[in-house]
Amino acid sequence: MAEVTTTNDSAADSSPAQDERLAHRGPVQQLLTRPEIGALIGAVGVWLLFWLVSAPFGTAGGTANYLDVAATLGLMAVPVALLMIGGEFDLSSGSMTGATAVIVVLLSSDTAELGGAGLSLHLAVPLSLAFALAIGWFNGTLVDKTSLPSFIVTLGTFFILIGAKLGFTKLFTNKVIAEGLDRSGGYEFWDNIFGATWIRNGHVWDNRDWAWSGMLIIGAVVLILGTMELAYARREHPNRGGYLISAVGAAVGAIGYILLHNQDGKVSNWVFGIITGAGVLVAVAGWCLARYQPAERESSQEERNPRVVQYFVVGLVAIVGAILIAAVMDSNNEGRLDFLTGTPGRVFLAIGIGTTGVLAVLAALGRVSVGYPAIGAVIALIPGISYMITVQGARAILFGGLAIAGVVVLSIAARRRGLAAVFTLLTAAAVAGLAFFIQSEADSRKLRVELFTALLLIALLLAASAITRLIAARRTTAPPPPMHGPLARQIGTALGLAAGLVSLILELADGDGILYSIIMAVAKGGIVAFAVFALATLFRTLFTSDESVGRSLVFVGLGSVMLGIAAKLMFITNEELAATQASTRFGVGVMLFLAFAVLGAWVLARTQFGNWVFAVGGNKDASRSVGVPAARTKTTLFMLVSASAWITGMVIAFRLNSVQANVGDGNEFRYIIVAVVGGCLLTGGYGSAIGAAIGAVIWGMITSGIGFATWNSDWRFLVLGALLLVAVLVNNYVRSQAEKVR
Amino acid sequence: MRKLWKLFALLLAFTLVAAACGNDDDDTGEPASSEPTEAAAPATEAPEPTEVVEVDPTQGCDKTYHVITHGDSGTFWSVVEVAVRDAAAAIGCDVVYFGSNNDALRQAQEIEAAIAAGSDGIAISLADPAGVQSAAEAVVAAGIPLYTLNSGVNDYKDLGATTHIGQTETVAGNGAGERFNALGATHVLCARQEQTNVALEERCNGLAETFSGQVTSEFVGLDATPDEQQNTIAAILQGDESIDGVLGVGPNLPLRALAAGEQAGRDLIIGGFDLSSDLIDEIEAGNVAFTVDQQQYLQGYLPVILMHLQATNLNTAGGGLPILTGPGFVDTANAAEVKALVSQGTR
Amino acid sequence: MAEFLELNNISKFYGNIIALTGVTTTVNPGEVTCVLGDNGAGKSTFIKILAGVHQYDEGTLLMEGEEVRFNSPREALGRGIATVYQDLAMVPLMSVWRNFFLGSEPKTGIWPFRQIDIEGAKRIAKEEMAKMGIDIRDVEQPVGTLSGGERQSVAIARASYFGARVLILDEPTSALGVKQSGVVLRRIVEARDQGLAVIFITHNPNHAYPVGDRFVILNRGVSMGNWAKEELSQADLTQLMAGGAELEALQHELAGAGA
């Protein structure tokens, strides 16, 4: 039946609500077509993997560690992504980072002792920037004037830079390391800028946990409200009674949550957990009754999938299996899960080879598909893999994998038509059960507190979405709602700027470091602006029926979640301070990296220059003929890359105080890889700055995570390659699925 | 168009500034060249490292020697090059130095060219014995004295070389292991800056042979990505709480390990390989315990002298055994003296 | 009264090669002037002279009675002459509204936060497309997903929105099927009715005749003449277009061969 209809119809057939989707892409679909979505999913996956297998990875120290690796990569990957979107490559970008660092050291270091120009850093640092910009300009102009591929032109610059770095370093110092930056004039001043670090141990905030978990929860709730606003049809006149029910539910939920977090006992957990859950669900139900149009009865013509029960059973079995594994496997064994040397290894090998043989014969006979013998090969590989991980790691992976698989299968069952809402509720119940099991059985505090909270939240989300679906009707048509509140935005921006400025002046007058002052100023200004905007948005939600409020709510929710995470990472409590000697530091590189990512995303999506970048990468001749200055745009991009290389070089130079001539060489391909993982096309015209930043974080997480997990580094590139491949494949798959829906 | 001209003007101005700086260097470079010891004097006369060392012909040496290595332009080989130059100045003969940058074919071609040029003695490194075997055999067949240096301790005899001047990596690693024993370490991370370098692996294996505790050998990132090295070491330290020592098998890694230890809040016993000014500063300050010095200056200096003695005086050193140049150690005891020599580029 | 745009004996040489010679015609608001010619007839040289890419060597180009000479595409655009090229000057991976405003993005905000007025741009793009009789579901969808006719419509809507007084269409129907061509011809009529002067370049007399008010035929760089619609029938046009006498000779030849 579907076969005879046109392709458009059959694509729509597979989705539950065909007409709605053609007319209106919901918030989730819109999100899924973004280029960086694959990288985001990959990042979450990689983070979960290492968080499960290694204890310190998820701590602030671990985060600082991988963010630091990501920073020097991402500072370059973001502008390189912009350049790639503009349709060009810069192979000299990697060696340029080292070149600017070498130049600063050579220009500034003292002649008598080491050889060098002995300039003050006040002169040397701007000179190196001028040098970097000149190289960028040269690259851009040459590419434009000769119309040669930028691959070739910048390859030339790449070799020239490598040669010049080495030649001049040896000429001046007779060695390949340029040393002695810290003995140069003006070092204090510039080190305060490029060498600044945020030392977490110096920033104690005892109420941090309340603040951050509060922000996280409020953020999550507002986020849910926002998506509901976007997805469901609004009542013309809100129902006040619903608001009342909702408020009562929210209060009960909040009390339950506070009590839940105040103790750690089996019975109280169950009791308060249930109170929390019930409160939230009542709140959601009340909200829906108040604001959204009631759903029509589900029509009888919808087909029911007969396999839905099977899915459900499989999902439940997986979750029970996860619980069993966690209970059975020795939770105290810290050794390696070594199947390789003992009998189990031979057993696995024998089973694997046997299976491969049988399946190969079957495949040859045409009874099974050709891919099946690979199953045997995977079994045969198990001993090898087991050698790499600890018992605890294996326990965590198996438990986590089965639990995730179970939840996924359950949610697939819940997506089927007919009893969708009921199955979603049952899934939520299963996840909640999983959460309580972990809470009462797990040995580690990490699993008990963090995983429990996460699972409980997921369960609540599932239940809330099921209830909403039961109560409210989906939107059928909707214009893409603009994010609104120009007045609130303007007042917020003005107040925020004022607060930031005052804070900056006060902090600087106090003699705090430049980094600290700037972060505090930006943070305070941002929080003030954000608070004004958030309050205005919440006000609108309650008292107007403005179409635009949904997106504003999503924005407020995301902002609140991110503020919460930042608060947890950047501040320490006295309790933690007493327990650790490690000093967690966030270098200025990390801050710059995050700023770059945000700035890059803004420039790309919202400015004229960003539009031109997409245009010259997508179709240079076309953009030129409508008046886009293509040559200037490209040259600016090249200069942007080299200016970022200068910043990266300064960060490296002021961290090490001495620079080896080959620093940064070969990194240009990492930047490109990271940008591609983040969703950039090699052919140009498509991509994302945020994606490149996420790609850099993935890279950082993998390189550091292997260390944290104490995996053998011989396998490092194998793991790196496999994970990167997975990220790219997921990216492709998700995007093609999302586009199909259209 | 006017904008383009402005940019040109800017570039021109920048070039002029750069040129002016260059002049400064020359000016200030001159008094520096007259100061140091006589050994360094010929080096600073030449504006850039030349391959042929010209020496006052009045000394009457009519011999020419060739030192042809697989070396690159890193810290290590630049010292060898300086040593070759100094030895040439000492004996007053022409010595040609060539580093093939790990290209065995280039190295073999250069050896054959040296034979054709009628060399009086050739010293080669055997990083890739198979690659230069035929060329090395041709040296012996032509009756030219052959020496091997740096790498090739296992193969020099088969090729017919008089002797080998170098250090075996395993022995160097053994030395480091004994040091860690003496310093009381129990679990040492052997951090490598290259993933597939036999010499670095041998150092770690040598460490494991003599060290009485546990050794974990890991690749922690390239020298080109120093931040990654530091963070990876910190990650490994946090992943395994029992590690209390780090041996970096290069001159940069001990410094990264020091920063990583601070990051992870751990007090570490740190050892290193080879030398750099920064590393010696840290040894002097007591933050790094020691570094294994392979004394590569000897590997450049000795072959030239030995070839000269064989060519002019028919001496053959070594007695069929290799001449070991290391391991020498730099620790708090001798750091101050070595420091001065490192900044001259001879250690 | 002076004609809006008047070409008198416009010629263009590339060295010794005569690219275009003796082109005379007029273009007026609310009229469609069709330029017909086979491949290599000089149509693209003609466009490029009017669009400011090339400069003419002989003759005069009068705009509202005043002699003009465009030194760059920007100058021509500034005088209100917009060209919709065959490749449409569109970036397929970019959304409809971004393409619509490419190069002339509306901006809002004060300097460091100066950004594109995205909401306004989307709204205008949708409205302008609606004026052309096309309802774009979602102006966020990439231009690459539109059909050829829809893309032409975007390009024409863009040109007319940005104050074009003369619209040059370079072979807009050549790559399209019959139905899509009909859509584009309707757009041409709509643009004309909005008061634009349209120059419609094509090699297909069947497309030109129904919409044209004035016809110029080019053959190997030489203008064959300049006719108002009343002066010739569709059959004449086809005849002229196909090479006139040459075609007759060919017909004789074929007839002879057949007999």
- pLDDT tens-digit readout, A487-500: 777 788 888 888 88
**C218 in a structural domain:** yes
> Which tops the pLDDT comparison, C62 or A712?
C62
Residue A74: count of CB within 10 angstroms of its CB = 35
**C111 in a structural domain:** no
Rounded-to-integer distance, Cα A416 and Cα A254, Å? 33
| Candidates A127, A180, A663; nearest CB to B224 | A663
Radius of gyration of chain A (CA): 28
Which pLDDT score is estimated for A481? 55
B158 and B61 in one domain? yes
Question: β-strands B64-69, B121-125: how paired?
Answer: parallel
Residue with structure tokens 């400064």? B24
% of chain B with per-residue pLDDT over 70: 82
Cβ contacts of B276 on chain A, cutoff 8 Å: 175, 177, 179, 658
3-state secondary structure labels for all residues of A360-386: HHHHHCCCCCCCCHHHHHHHHHHHHHH
Count of the separate structural domains present in chain B: 2
Sheet holding C17-27, edge to edge: C66-67, C58-63, C5-14, C17-27, C222-228, C214-219, C32-37, C197-202, C166-170, C81-84
**C142 in a structural domain:** no
**C15 in a structural domain:** yes
Domain ranges for chain A: 33-201+572-741, 338-386
Question: β-strands C115-116, C107-108: how paired?
Answer: antiparallel
CATH 3.90.1520 fits A33-201+572-741, yes or no: no
The answer to whether A274 touches A436, Cβ cutoff 8 Å, is: no
Best CA proximity match to B85, nearest among B135, B48, B136: B48
Query: At A97, is the pLDDT very low, low, confident or very high (cuts 50, 70, 90)?
Result: very high
Distance from CA of A478 to the nearest CA of B (A): 48
**B1 in a structural domain:** no
ipTM over 0.85: no
Work out how many CB contacts closer than 8 A connect A with B: 172
Instruction: Kindly give the residue spans of alpha helices, DSSP state H, lying in A510-659.
Output: 514-543, 549-570, 574-579, 588-606, 608-618, 620-625, 630-656
Which pLDDT score is estimated for B38? 36
Structure tokens that stand for A178 in this block = 């340029």
Instruction: Kindly give the residue spans of alpha helices, DSSP state H, lying in chain C.
Output: 43-51, 73-78, 96-101, 118-131, 148-161, 178-193, 205-211, 234-241, 245-258
CB-based contact A627 C77, cutoff 8 Å: yes
Range of the domain at C217: 5-92+164-258
- pLDDT tens-digit readout, A269-326: 778 878 888 888 888 888 888 888 777 655 444 455 566 677 778 888 887 888 777 7
**B181 in a structural domain:** yes
Structure tokens that stand for A196 in this block = 């600044």
CB-based contact C141 A742, cutoff 8 Å: yes
Which pLDDT score is estimated for C256? 66
Terminal C-alpha separation, chain B = 55
CATH number of the domain encompassing residue B186: 3.40.50.2300
B175 and B132 in one domain? no
Q: Does B236 touch chain A (CB under 8 A)?
A: yes
**C154 in a structural domain:** no
Instruction: Assign residue B23 a region (left: φ > 0; alpha: ψ between -120 and 50; beta: otherwise).
Output: alpha
Rounded-to-integer distance, Cα A294 and Cα A316, Å? 32
Q: Does C179 touch chain A (CB under 8 A)?
A: no
> Amino acid identity, residue C61?
L
Question: β-strands B146-150, B121-125: how paired?
Answer: parallel
Indicate whether B185 pLDDT > 50: yes
**3-state class of B189 per DSSP?**
strand
B219 and B242 in one domain? yes
- pLDDT tens-digit readout, C37-62: 887 778 888 888 888 888 888 888 88
- Cα angle A330, A333, A338 (rounded to 5 degrees) comes to 100
Indicate whether C131 pLDDT > 80: no
Cis link prior to B327 (omega < 30° from 0)? yes
- How far CA B38 is from CA of A400, A495, B95, B296, C136, in Å, comes to 69, 70, 18, 20, 83
CATH number of the domain encompassing residue C58: 3.40.50.300
Lowest-pLDDT range, A97-101, A616-620, A708-712, C144-148? C144-148
- pLDDT tens-digit readout, A176-200: 788 878 888 888 888 888 888 888 8
Query: Within the 466-485 window of chain A, which residues sit less than 8 Å (CB to CB) from chain C?
Result: 480, 482
Indicate whether A615 pLDDT > 50: yes
Indicate whether A169 pLDDT > 90: no
3-state secondary structure labels for all residues of A409-477: HHHHHHHCCCCHHHHHHHHHHHHHHHHHHHHHHCCCHHHHHHHHHHHHHHHHHHHHHHHHHHHECECCC
Query: Within the 96-135 window of chain C, which residues sit less than 8 Å (CB to CB) from chain A?
Result: 98, 101-105, 107, 113-116, 118-119, 122
**3-state class of C7 per DSSP?**
strand
Range of the domain at B201: 169-293
> Which tops the pLDDT comparison, C257 or B6?
C257
% of chain B with per-residue pLDDT over 90: 37
| Candidates A71, A134, A707; nearest CB to B235 | A707
The answer to whether A66 touches A704, Cβ cutoff 8 Å, is: yes
Phi/psi of residue A564, nearest 5 degrees: -60, -45
The answer to whether A100 touches A132, Cβ cutoff 8 Å, is: yes
Sheet holding B187-192, edge to edge: B214-219, B187-192, B245-248, B269-273, B290-293, B328-331
> Amino acid identity, residue A186?
G
- pLDDT tens-digit readout, B167-181: 888 888 999 999 999
Residues paired with residue C33 on neighbouring β-strands, in sequence order: C199, C214
Cβ contacts of C122 on chain A, cutoff 8 Å: 480
Count of the separate structural domains present in chain C: 1
CB-based contact C114 A607, cutoff 8 Å: yes
Q: For residue A481, give the DSSP letter.
A: P
Contacts of A714 (CB under 8 A, 6+ apart): B195, B219
B208 and B72 in one domain? no
Strands (E), A257-381: none
The answer to whether B206 touches B174, Cβ cutoff 8 Å, is: yes
CB-based contact A686 C138, cutoff 8 Å: no
Distance from CA of A103 to the nearest CA of C (A): 31
Indicate whether B27 pLDDT > 50: no
